[in-house]
Structure formats: C-alpha cells, structure tokens
C-alpha cells in the first residue's frame, strides 16, 4: 500500500502504530519524486542515501522502544535557501552552485529532532527573488495541475512537491508572498507566520526585516503540527520572539465561529481580478458566515495602493546589502581575474541572474546619496502607516479575508519579460510582510480550466491560532487540499 497520499499527522500515527516502517515511507516518497520530477523539476538536490540511512536509524530506535518524536517518519523537503550541513545549499544561483554549509538552519535541526526525514532541497527563484520559480539557475519548476504553467514563487518547488504528493510537508520562505502565492497557484495550504515566530537562523537572507520561514501542507492539522515543531524561541536569531508558544493543535478543536468577526478588504475589488478568484473569496465568506462569523467590510486605503511601491523599495534595498557578501573571495563561485575589482565584477556578473541583478541595482540606487530620503525613508514611513492600518482593522475584526493572488497560474514564459506584471502577482500578500503579520492561503476552489484558486486569511500579530481555527472550519466544509490529478498523481 502506498503512503504518498497520507498527511504528515497520519504518517506519524501509522509509524507509531508500526503500520508502516519509516524506510517504507521514505522509499515511497523517493520513488514518487523519481517518477515525476523529470517533468516537474521541483527538486534541486535529492538526498536518497542520507534519507534512507536516516530512516533506518529511526526504525532501529523505534524497534528498541525509544519514544518517537511528533514527526517521526514524516518525509519533508526544504527550500534551497535553508542551510543543510554537508548538503548543497544553492539558493538556485550559480554563485552558490558548489557551496555546502558547515551547519544546519534552526528549522532543519528542529525537524530532525522531531523525527522528520529530509529528502532534499527544492527549486526556487534565485535568492527568493521572483513569483514564478522561473528565475532559477536550474530551470523553471512546473505546476503539477498543468505543467505548461508556473507553480508560483519564489517557493514554487516546495509548493509543487506537496501538491504532487512527493511529501506531506515542505518548508518555504516568504518575503512578500513566496509561501502564500505558490500555495494558491498549487491548490494547497501555505502559512507565513508572524515575523519572529520561527527562527531565521540559517536562512540565507533576501530582505532581513521581511523574510519568514513557514510550512506548506495539504491539511490544516499538518500546519499546526509544523508550527508546534518549528515555532520556538532561538537565541541564535535576535529577531525571534522569546515568548512561550501555544499548542497550535488546540486551535483546531473550534466547532463554531459564533462571535467571530471577519473583515473583507474593500479595496481588493479595485484590482483586475480573474472572475474565479472573486468567486472563491465569496465562497469562503459564505462558509465562514454559515459557521457563525459576522462579515464586515474593512478599508485599507494606503496598504492597498502604496504597499507594492513601498515593498519594492525596502526589499531591494535590504537585498543589495545582504548580497554584497557574494564577492568570489570567501565562498561560492570565484572567477579568475587579474585584480580584486575585476574578481568582484566578473564573479557577480557570471554568478547572478537577471532578476537578482535588477533588484541589487534598484536597492543600491534607492540607498544612494541624494535618493535615500526620497525613496527609502519615504517607503519606511509608508510601512508604518500600513502597520497602523492593519492594527486599526484588527481592533474591529478577528481575521481579514482577501485574494492571495489576482490570477491563477499563468503559463511559463508569459510574464518573464514583464517584471511589473510579475510583481503585481504579490500585490495582496506583500503588505502582510511589511506589517509582520501571519497570513494563510487556503484553496477556494478551481477555475473552469481546473486551476486552483487561493484565498488569503490574515491575522493579527501572533494570531496564527485565530486563522488556523477558521481554516479548520473551512476544511471541514471543503475537505483537505487534493493531490494534483491529470496523470501526474495517482490518488488511489
């Protein structure tokens, strides 16, 4: 019997009950990756031998009576911008193509302590800069619902891996929508936690004040399980909160939303939305209302008109600073050159792709003398206004609802030469990062072409439990996310 359609929670229960060995689970996942990834290209590195060795050790520990962790036997894939000791960590960039970190990211350590088995590293937009996973030195990833289309980005490989049934849980990072937008396009759950909930130690930085690690899954229970493992204080990350975390599984016991207020963001209707996106939002609102929630219209005028501009000043500015370390001297790619300046120029020219260069140049410009006040400082003031607008909204409602993305998955190559249109794919997600709030994309149905439609739920700071409980109510009505059909995935 195949295990690839099981959730992480089901796998952990069945391994504890000795219905499956960890080795059987891991072999099932590796075989599925082997059969599908030649088409999907969701993986950059597959660690077959390490995974099987790890599985054998876990089976031996279980046989000797050692207590299993909460994720024992669960196969997991992590985005290739999270450090893995002795395993290539490339950020999908030529400049780090041969780099093997000497340490693990905090989330990798947490997964392994919980008993998970990491199978490999997923494809992504280079240095997490993109919304389609086309900006990868390893080629574009494909959407398992329609392989002519993108899976979203920048965590597209992780999203595609979960949607195709490689694994029940994968990790992504979200700077402006890079978990929620691919979750939307691939028809699964994707959670960006509150900034500071999960340690960023070992996450290769794009924009340090915006980046946050979070899980992809096909069930809400698996999201809660992931947070229980990953959401912990970490002294190695000065931005990680030291506050005690709740048991996130407890929030799934909510049966009614009576007394809860849900805000629908008025301004999203001003955008040119695909009609099925609008229908998906309305369907989610109906389900929440039928469960007892009160729907109330909320306005975020500055957030929805100026968030995009502020983000694309702040994020490239931070990126230009963070990526200065890739100089060909300390690690990674190093081109031969006659002098130090030539080494820098030749290495960065050969190592960085077009989108990364575009953002470095933009960031350097807005931080330069004479432009800092006009651009970067102004964007930071807008960020403060956005944060205040969200705070005011959450004084009236418990959760906000809006689309995750203005359109379903687009075709590979369709927007690759149109960066402004590509940036608009994150117009509803990036304000959430600017305010440091939690956001969750849930599947709200499918288009007439069978493409998934995502709906975004946004909570107040540290409000993961609030949005998980509402997502649990939705899931009881809609069912868990489906593994992609169409010959790529056998749902039996």
At the topology level, CATH places domain 8-301+384-478 in: Amidase signature (AS) enzymes (3.90.1300)
User: Each residue's pLDDT tens digit in the chain (492 positions)?
Assistant: 577 789 999 999 999 999 999 999 999 999 999 999 999 999 999 999 999 999 999 999 999 999 899 999 999 999 999 999 999 999 999 999 989 999 999 999 999 999 999 999 999 999 999 999 999 999 999 999 999 999 999 999 999 999 999 999 999 999 999 999 999 999 999 999 999 999 999 999 999 999 999 999 999 999 999 999 999 999 999 999 999 999 999 999 988 999 999 999 999 999 989 999 999 999 999 999 999 999 999 999 999 999 999 999 999 999 999 999 999 998 889 999 999 999 999 999 999 999 999 999 999 999 998 899 999 999 999 999 999 999 999 999 999 999 999 999 999 999 988 988 999 999 999 999 999 999 999 999 999 999 999 999 999 999 999 999 999 999 999 999 999 985 454 443
Dihedral pair phi/psi, residue 361, rounded to 5°? -65, -40
Active site residues: 79, 154, 178
Dihedral pair phi/psi, residue 108, rounded to 5°? -65, -45
Structure tokens, 52 = 């099987």
Dihedral pair phi/psi, residue 443, rounded to 5°? -80, 125
pTM of the predicted structure, to 2 decimals: 0.96
Q: Which DSSP helix (H) or strand (E) runs through 220? A: helix 220-230
Cβ neighbors of 351 (< 8 A, separation 6 or more) are: 93, 94, 95, 96, 326, 328, 332, 333
Query: How far is 176 from 309, CA to CA, in rounded Å?
Result: 12
Query: How far is 191 from 456, CA to CA, in rounded Å?
Result: 10
């Amino acid at each position: 019997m195949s295990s690839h359609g099981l959730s992480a929670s089901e796998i952990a229960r069945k391994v504890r009950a000795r219905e499956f060995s960890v080795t059987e689970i891991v072999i099932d996942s590796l075989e599925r990756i082997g059969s599908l990834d030649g088409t999907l290209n969701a993986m950059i590195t597959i660690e077959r031998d390490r995974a099987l060795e790890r599985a054998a050790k876990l089976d031996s520990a279980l046989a000797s009576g050692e207590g299993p962790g909460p994720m024992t036997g669960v196969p997991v894939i992590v985005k290739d911008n999270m450090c893995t000791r002795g395993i290539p960590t490339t950020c999908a960039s030529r400049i780090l193509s041969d780099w093997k970190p000497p340490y693990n990211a905090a989330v990798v350590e947490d997964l392994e302590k919980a008993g998970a088995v990491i199978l490999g590293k997923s494809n992504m937009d280079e240095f997490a800069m993109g919304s389609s996973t086309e900006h990868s030195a390893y080629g574009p990833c494909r959407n398992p619902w329609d392989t002519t289309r993108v899976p979203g980005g920048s965590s597209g490989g992780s999203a595609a891996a979960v949607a195709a049934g490689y694994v029940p849980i994968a990790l992504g990072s979200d700077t402006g929508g890079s978990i929620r937008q691919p979750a939307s396009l691939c028809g699964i759950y994707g959670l960006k936690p509150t900034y500071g909930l999960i340690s960023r130690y070992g996450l290769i930085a794009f924009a340090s004040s915006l980046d946050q690690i979070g899980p992809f899954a096909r069930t809400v229970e698996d999201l809660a399980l992931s947070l229980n493992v990953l959401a912990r204080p970490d002294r190695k990350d000065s931005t990680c909160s030291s506050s005690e975390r709740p048991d996130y599984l407890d929030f799934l016991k909510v049966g009614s939303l009576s007394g809860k207020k849900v805000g629908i963001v008025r301004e999203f209707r001003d955008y040119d939305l695909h009609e099925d996106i609008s229908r998906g939002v309305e369907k989610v609102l109906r389900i929440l209302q039928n469960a007892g929630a009160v729907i109330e219209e909320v306005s975020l005028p500055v957030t929805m008109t100026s968030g995009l501009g502020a983000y694309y000043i702040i994020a490239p500015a931070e990126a230009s600073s963070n990526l200065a370390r890739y100089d060909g001297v300390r690690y990674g790619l190093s081109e031969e050159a006659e002098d130090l300046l030539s080494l820098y120029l030749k290495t960065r020219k050969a190592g960085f792709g077009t989108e990364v260069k575009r953002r470095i140049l933009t960031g350097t410009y807005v931080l330069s003398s004479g432009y800092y006040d006009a651009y970067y400082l102004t964007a930071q003031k807008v960020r403060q206004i956005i944060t205040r607008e969200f705070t005011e909204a959450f004084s009236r409602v418990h959760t906000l609802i809006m689309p995750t993305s203005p359109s379903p998955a687009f075709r590979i190559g369709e927007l690759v030469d149109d960066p402004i249109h590509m940036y608009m794919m994150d117009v509803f997600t990036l304000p959430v990062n600017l305010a440091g709030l939690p956001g969750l994309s849930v599947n709200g149905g499918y288009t007439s072409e069978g493409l998934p439609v995502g709906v975004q739920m946004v909570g107040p700071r540290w409000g993961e439990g609030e949005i998980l409980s509402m997502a649990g109510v939705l899931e009881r009505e809609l069912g868990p996310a489906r593994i992609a059909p169409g010959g790529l995935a056998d749902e039996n």
